[in-house]
Amino acid sequence: MLFHPKNENFEHLDARSREMMQKTIDFFEAKGKAGIKEDDHERRWYADFLDFVKANKIFATLLTPPDFTDNPDARWDTYRNCVFNEILGFYGLAYWYTWQVTILGLGPIWMSPNEGIKKRTGGLLEDGGIFGFGLSEKAHGADLYSSEMALTPLGEGRYVADGGKYYIGNGNEAALLSTFGKNSEDGSYVWFAVETGHPNYALVKNIVDSQMYVAEYALSGYPVSDDEILSTGDAAWDAALNTVNVGKFNLGWASIGICTHAFYESINHAAHRNLYGKYVTEFPHIQQMFTDAYARLAAMRIFSARAIDYMRSASAEDRRYLLFNPMVKMKVTTQGEEVINLLWDIIAARGFEKDMYFEMAARDIRALPKLEGTVHVNMALIVKFMANYLFNPGEFPEIPVRTDAAHDAFLFDQGPTRGLGKIQFHDYMAAYNSVDLPNVNVFKAQIEALKALLMTAPPSKEQTRDIDFLLCLGELMTLVAYGQLIIEKAGMGQVSDDLLEQIFDFMVRDFSKFALQLYSKTSSTEAQMAGCLKLIKKPVVDEDRFQRVWQNEVLALTDVYEMNP
C-alpha cells in the first residue's frame, strides 16, 4: 500500500522510465540520510542533484512534449510524473521543489503558440536546464489583477520590461523564467520569457532560509522581443490558471512521499522503544494513532492515484479533473499534516532530533497546503462545483486506470478557465452503492443527511458571501468526493475491505467534526443547526477488524525500510 524505494519494481512503467526512477532512488540512497540532513542544515544548493538530473536527462525526458525533442522516451505523462513526485518528496522537499517550479515555469511555455520558444526550451531541457514561474509579486501575491510588472511596447516587435517578482523558485539559475505582466499601454495580460543571466535581470535575494532558492528578482529596462512573448490577453490569463491546474496536482504527491518516509521512521522507533516494561507499540492509544495515521496516508495515496486517471482522461467535454485536482492539492496536503501530527504525538521529542528525517518532515509538511493557492483559495474553487456534483449528475463513460505511456497533450490545451459552475459529474452514488460495508453505510447516511440539509435549509444570500461558512460546508462536500474516488480505486483491487472500513472509520468521524463546526458558526440558523445534528454519527466499532489492520498492515511495516545512513 505504501511506496517502498528498496522493493519497488515500477511494474506499470516502461523500461526507460523504470531506469530513471531506480537511478533516482539509488542517487539518494548513496547520498544517505546523513548527507541529505547535512545539506539541509547547511542550506546547501542541491547542485549534485541537478548534475545527476542533467547527466541522466531526467527532466528532459519527463517534461518535454514529443514535438520538441528527438528523445523517443520524452512525454508529459502525469502518471509517470507522480511516481517521480513521490520519490522526491520521500527523500526531501527541497529536491521536489526545484522540480515543481520547473513544471510551473514550463506551463506557460508549452501552452504558448510561440513555436520558436518551445523548440528552444526543448533544447534547454536537454542541456539540463531548470525553469521558474514568475507570477507572484511582493505587494500582491498571486493576485493577477494587480500585477505591476510592466511590458512597454517600443514598436517593430520590441518591448522593455520593468518591475519585480517575489517568491519565485529557481530564480537564481533558471534557464528561462516565464514572467507574467501587463502591457503598459492597454493593460492586457502577457507572459514573456526572461533569462536569469541577462545584465538587466537583478537577483535581489533568496527570501527563505533554505536549500531552496526562492527568489526576489527585478527587471529594469529588460529587452524583450516577439521571440520571447509566450501569450497575450485572455490566453495569458488562461495560461496562468491552467498552469496552476497542472502544477498543484504535484503537491499532494509530495505530501504522500514525506508522510511515507516519516511513517517508516516512526514505526521503527516506536516498535523498539520500551517504556514501563512494554514496547510503545503495545499501548492501545499508540495502536489507534498509528492505525489512524496509516489509514489517512493510504487514503491520500488511493484518492490521488484515482485522480490521475481523471487528469489524464480529461477533455473539453470532460472537465471533472477541475474538482479532483484541487482536492489533491488541498485535501491530500492537509491530511498530510494530520498524519505527521499523529506520528509526532507518538515519537514525541524524537521528532526534533537533527539526525531524523522526521525533523524535515515536520517542518516541510506545513508548506504544501500553502503553495499554489492556499487551502481557502482551493476550497472556494471546490465550492463552485457543489450544486452540480451533489444534485445534477451527468452521463460519462467510466474512466479506466491510466498508467499507459502516453503524452497528456490536453493539459497544455485546456482552453478557457470560465464556466466552472456548468461542469457536471457522474453520479457519485454509483461508487457508494457498489460497496456494502458498515462504515461506508454510515457515511452514506451522512451524505443523505447533508443533501437534506442543503435542500431544506440552504445557505442564505448573506451566508453565501460568508467565506468562513462556505469553507466549512465545502469540507463536507469534499469528503463526499474524497470517499467516491477512494471506493472507485478500491474496486480496482489491492485495497482490502478491512482497510476500506478503517478509512471510512475516520471519514465518518471527520464528517461529524465538520458538521459540528457548521452547527457552531455564528450565522447558522435553527433549521441548519437541527440539520447539522443529523450529520453527526459514530463509526461502527469492530475490534477484530481494527486488530487485523493493526497487525497485518501497520505493525507489519516495522523494520521494513530504513534509509541508508
Would you place residue 378 in the very low, low, confident or very high pLDDT band (cuts 50, 70, 90)?
confident
Q: Classify residue 414: in a domain, yes or no.
A: no
Q: Say yes or no: 86 and 151 in one domain.
A: no
Looking at the structure, do residues 108 and 188 belong to the same domain, yes or no? Answer: no
Please give the mean pLDDT across all residues of the chain. 96
Task: Answer yes or no: do 341 and 353 share one domain.
Answer: yes
Does one domain contain both 117 and 203?
Answer: no
- The answer to whether residue 377 scores a pLDDT higher than 90 is no
Q: What value, to the nearest 5°, has the Cα angle with vertex 338 and ends 337 and 343?
A: 100
Is residue 190 domain-shared with residue 334, that is, in the same domain?
A: no
Q: Say if CB 89 and CB 253 are below 8 A apart.
A: yes
CA separation for the pair 342, 348 (Å, rounded): 10
Question: Are 491 and 535 contained in the same domain?
Answer: yes
Beta strands 214-225 and 274-275, pairing class:
unpaired
Enter the DSSP assignment of 150.
E
Burial class (CB in 10 A: 0-12, 13-18, 19+), 186: exposed
How does DSSP assign 355-373, residue by residue? T-HHHHHHHHTTTGGGSSS
Return the pLDDT at 178: 98
> Rounded to whole angstroms, how far apart are CA atoms 303 and 307?
6
Residues 111 and 255 in one domain: no
* Claim to verify: residue 359 and residue 347 sit in the same structural domain: yes
415 part of a folded domain: no
Residue with cell 471519514: 507
Say which DSSP state 137 is in. Answer: B
DSSP three-state, residue 127: coil
Report which of 512, 391, 510 is spatially closest to residue 458, judged by C-alpha positions: 391
Q: What is the CATH number for 309?
A: 1.20.140.10
Same domain, 270 and 389: yes
Produce one character per residue of 448-477: b if its CB has 16 or more CB atoms within 10 Å, e if not: ebbeebbeebebeeebeebeebbbbbbbbb
Condensed to tens digits (0 to 9), the pLDDT of residues 77-111 reads 999 999 999 999 999 999 999 999 999 999 999 99
Residue 50 is given by DSSP the state H
* Domain of residue 211, residue span: 132-232
What's the pLDDT band for 221 if we cut at 50, 70, 90?
very high
Residue 2 included in any domain: no
273-275-281-282 Cα dihedral, nearest 10 degrees: 140
Q: Please tell me the total count of domains within the chain.
A: 3
Any domain includes 545: yes
Whether residue 372 is predicted with pLDDT greater than 80 in this model: the reply is no
Maximum Cα interatomic distance, the chain, rounded to a whole number of Å: 82
Claim to verify: residue 226 and residue 258 sit in the same structural domain: no
Is 253 found in the same domain as 222? no
Residue 305 lies in a domain: yes
* Band (419; pLDDT cuts 50, 70, 90): confident
The distance of Cα 495 from the centroid of its chain, to the nearest Å, equals 22
Q: Which of 310, 252, 517, 255 is CA-nearest to residue 428?
A: 310
Same domain, 82 and 136: no
What per-residue confidence (pLDDT) applies to 122?
98
pLDDT score for 398 = 92
Greater confidence (119 vs 417) lies with 119
pLDDT at 538 over 90: yes
DSSP string, 397-448: PPPPP--S----GGGG----S--GGG-----THHHHTT---HHHHHHHHHHH
**Residue 409 included in any domain:** no
